[in-house]
Amino acid sequence: MIPDFGYGVLVLTFFMALYSAIAGIYASINKSQKLAESARRAMLLTFPLLSISSLSLIYLLVNNHFEVAFVYEVTSRTMPTYLKVTSWWGGQAGSLLFWSWLLSAFTSAVSIRKWDRDREFLPWVMVVCGITLAFFLSLAVFFENPFVKYWQTMSGEIVESVFRVKDAILFTPQDGRGLNPLLRHPGMVIHPPMLYLGFVSFVIPYAFAMAALITGRSDDRWIRLTRRWTLWAWLFLSFGLVLGGRWAYDVLGWGGYWGWDPVEIAAFMPWLTGTAFLHSVMIQEKRGMLKQWNMILVILTYDLVIFGTFLTRSGVLSSVHSFAQSAIGPMFFGFIVITFLSSTALLIWRWPQLRAETEMKSMLSREALFLFNNLLFMSILVVCFWGVIFPLISELFVGEKITVGPPFYERATAPLFASLLFLMAIAPLSAWGHSTLQTLGRASWKSAIVALLITVAIFFTFTQSVPALIGFFLIAFALSITLHEFWRATLARVHAQNENFATAFFTLISRNRRRYGGYIIHISMALMAIGIIGIEGFQYETQGTLASGESLNIADYTVTYRELASWDDAPNGVNYTRAVVDVSENGVYLGTLHPRIDYYFDAEQNMTIPGLRPSLRDDLYILLVDWQPVSSMGATFKIYVNPLMNWLWLGSLLFFVGITVAAWPDKDPEAQSARVRGKVYHSSSAD
């Protein structure tokens, strides 16, 4: 049977990953290249094996094999095929297999690379990757098995088991429960895979860092080897966070994109440490500094990835994003403790060898400002971590989970984010090694005046709120400086190379993708900050019950209820209830919106779809909350006006452009040098 086959391949892959880790240890101890090569080949096999197991599960999902417990829990006959496929990661057991499959793909890709120059890293990279993969596979094999079947005993009891239960027959329900309607949104088709890609990608830099510690390599070779892995991990994780925000905005029906939910924060924390790591590795490459700090950051990022996965799957915290209670919580916690303590012990062992090659001589130098930037990221991390674990601590000591809400996070992090905006503006103007207030002032005074003029204009046209004005000034300051850097460098190239402006601009970026990709990211972050300040500081909200023809006023908008219709979509098992509302602004008719509520019969659950009118100025966001059986008797609406909201989404799009530019592969300078030396050698030999 296919479930038994899929499970058998899963068990085989678990032992293969375990063998790779054990063989890697023995290969390093015995200096055996053959054993190291065996560990590498074993790791290469994990991806095709897990692909076979995953395809087996997908087949079961698509073909309605409800005798398999996981298939019954996440699919139904009315679900379209694409949703049945994506339900692979819509439940606990399947998502663990999906996580493992992605990790095997990444570790196999690392195994394929040429190891000629880094042979000492090979066995230990296989050890770290093998242990991590074996851990996640063990959860799928022993605790959350996606291939468990239903069996009916002679007494009529339904039990779950991988293997046949004595005196029982296979039980197949007529239909499944269906995927949670909240997960049927298109954003959730992409959001979890992006988060998982970000999570598993960060395993690779951690593996190389541990290999560097174990082998005593104190240079930056491991950083150069993993630079692209880190950038793409950051891209995937960032993409996942933004998609999650858009999903929340479109589906959860509370008019926002971020609620400081524990699982949201769990994905945000490794992003914070990963961002700090991306900044500080540049200091190690340029100045030979912060080696110890970089190791701390990569260890934290790895364990926060596991911690985030633990929070989502253990059920210890209540969240709209999390899975149900599970027995795997203690396993996750134990793995986090073991990996963190062992990594820390390795770091302490090699601490003296990781001393900086140069000293920090100026508090305004670029490396100093980057370090301050990192400390701000870590401060935000501390706030987030404390807010997430506080309910657990309160339950431990007082027997009750006391949660902290958005006001705590917003008050604690707002000054830190503002400081990050300021550093983002001035850090590119500082020099490596030494900078002064005078040099920074000369480089930034024009941008400061531009920012001040923009802030004055905002004061007279939009808001007199002092915190908001400070935020807008910092955004304008960062944008002005970054855009000026592009302008100045492009003009210099126009004059030096006699190129037109467009050619000079694109050549400038292509010649230094890492730097100017980073500048594009800075611009995108400033644009996103506009949207965040808009919705956080100036959101309007109202609610009311309207009879047909009645209106609600909010800000400059008037919303008039016209009619309501309800109908069943039998093939998809959904009942749609849709309201028709007219929207006008200051007496000018703008159009019609259609907020609705979709009821899914298989899951017995509603999903709220807002009526949305977006613009660069604001979003009009209308929710149908309730209605009477006869539409003329009235319907209840909740209405939000979210100022500047779409600047967040525009900034997000530019953010991905910036990361792609920064992560686009450059030619390996060492490999180029080797080729040049080879050409020179052959040329001299011919002479």
| Rounded mean pLDDT, 536-557 | 93
pLDDT band of residue 503 (cuts 50, 70, 90) is very high
Each residue of 558-592: pLDDT tens digit? 999 999 999 988 788 899 999 999 999 999 999 99
- Tens-place pLDDT, residues 403-425: 888 899 999 999 999 999 999 99
**65-74, 387-396, 490-499, 620-629, range with greatest mean pLDDT:** 65-74
Distance set, CA 215 to CA 121, 224, 288, 350 (Å): 7, 17, 19, 10
- What confidence score (pLDDT) does residue 401 get? 77
- Give the pLDDT confidence score for residue 322 in this predicted structure: 43
pLDDT of residue 206: 96
Kindly report, residue by residue over 16-27, the tens digit of the pLDDT.
999 999 999 999
Q: What is the mean pLDDT of residues 467-492?
A: 95
Axis crossing angle, helix 33-62 with helix 122-142, rounded to the nearest 10: 30
- For residue range 596-608, list pLDDT tens digits in order: 999 998 888 888 9
Give how far the C-alpha of residue 424 lies from the chain's centroid of Cα atoms, to the nearest Å.
21
CA distances from 110 to 31, 107, 135, 233, 341 (A): 21, 5, 19, 14, 25
Q: Is the pLDDT of residue 684 over 60?
A: no
Confidence label for 331 from pLDDT (cuts 50, 70 and 90): confident
Mean per-residue pLDDT of the chain: 89
Rounded CA separation 544/125 (Å): 60
Cα distances from 633 to residues 386, 561, 563, 564, 636, in angstroms, run 48, 11, 10, 10, 10
Separation of alpha carbons 261 and 403, rounded Å: 10
Pairing of strands 158-161, 596-600: unpaired
**Which SS3 state, helix, strand or coil, does residue 579 take?**
strand
Helix, strand or coil for residue 596?
A: strand
What is the average pLDDT across 235-252?
A: 89
| pLDDT over threshold 70, residue 491 | yes
Q: Can you give the pLDDT at residue 570?
A: 74
> Are 559 and 637 contacting, i.e. CB atoms less than 8 angstroms apart?
yes
The per-type count for the chain, helices as H runs and strands as E runs, is: 20, 13
Coil/strand/helix, residue 566:
strand
Among the ranges 286-290, 355-359, 471-475, 494-498, which has the highest mean pLDDT value? 471-475
Q: What confidence score (pLDDT) does residue 164 get?
A: 87
- pLDDT at residue 318, rounded to an integer: 52
pLDDT of residue 638: 95
- pLDDT for position 321: 45
Q: 262-281: per-residue pLDDT in tens?
A: 888 989 999 999 999 999 99
Report the pLDDT averaged over residues 169-184. Answer: 89
Give residue 92's pLDDT.
86
Per-residue confidence (pLDDT) for residue 643, from 0 to 100:
96
Mean pLDDT, residues 521-532 taken together: 95
Residue 666's pLDDT is what? Answer: 63
| 287-329: pLDDT as tens digits | 888 899 999 999 999 999 998 888 776 555 554 444 445 578 7
Q: In the chain, what are the domain boundaries? A: 1-179, 182-378, 540-646
Give the model confidence (pLDDT) of 617-639 as tens digits.
Answer: 999 999 999 887 765 678 999 99
Q: What is the pLDDT of residues 357-375, one digit of tens each?
A: 888 888 888 889 999 999 9
Please give the average per-residue pLDDT across 183-189, as a whole number: 79
Q: Which residues contact 624 (CB under 8 A, 6 or more apart)?
A: 577, 578, 579, 595, 596, 597, 608, 611, 635, 636, 637
Q: Band of the pLDDT at 531, cuts 50, 70, 90?
A: very high
Residue 349 pLDDT greater than 60, yes or no? yes
The whole-number pLDDT of residue 435 equals 85
d(CA 412, CA 503): 45
Q: Residue 436 has what pLDDT?
A: 87
Which range has the worst mean pLDDT, 43-57, 431-445, 447-461?
431-445
Instruction: Give the per-residue pLDDT at 236.
Output: 92
CA distances for 146 relative to 5, 310, 316, 526, angstroms: 12, 18, 22, 43
User: Residues of the chain with pLDDT > 90: what percent?
Assistant: 61
pLDDT of residue 396: 78
Distance CA 148, CA 73 (A): 12
* Confidence class for position 94, pLDDT limits 50, 70, 90: very high
Sheet of strand 158-161: strand arrangement: 158-161, 149-153, 168-170
Rounded CA-CA distance 474/429 in Å is 15
pLDDT at 123: 92
Query: In the prediction, which pLDDT does 314 show?
Result: 58
